[in-house]
Amino acid sequence: MKKNFLLLGISILLLISIVGCGIGEGSLTDGAYAGEGKGYSSTIKVNIAVEGGKISGLQVVEHGESEDFFETAIDEISRDIIGKESTEEIDVVSGATLSSKGIIEAINSALKTIK
């Protein structure tokens, strides 16, 4: 039960971030943006590219996570975010849960810098 409330709370916070940033509406300001989030064992730093009002690319600039798990996480998460044009309802990667959350947090951090 507590897990469901926690997941609901996280979903609501992500939705608030996304709505505030205009993601999913094709109305983002084109450019490159940097953000960071807390992974399992390090801070994850990313750059996102916005073209045509949508996220078009994601690059990890720095991390200290375990390579095998992290590579799987970044591949799946970046594909999902670009495909859905949203960070909402993105599944974390099994075995890399905290790294996955850190990647999503870093992307949301970058999106918050868009003016």
pLDDT, tens digit (0-9, with 9 covering 90-100), for 21-67: 445 456 789 999 999 999 999 999 999 999 999 888 899 999 999 99
Query: Has residue 13 got a pLDDT over 70?
Result: no
Site of tokens 């205009």: 22
- Tell me the angle at which helices 97-112 and 67-84 cross, rounded to the nearest 10 degrees: 50
Domains observed in the chain: 2-112 (3.90.1010)
Give the pTM.
0.74
Q: What share of the chain is helix, strand, coil (3-state, %, to 5)?
A: 45, 25, 30
Q: Which of 5-19, 20-34, 57-71, 73-87 has the highest mean pLDDT?
A: 57-71
- Say if residues 62 and 45 touch (Cβ distance below 8 Å): yes
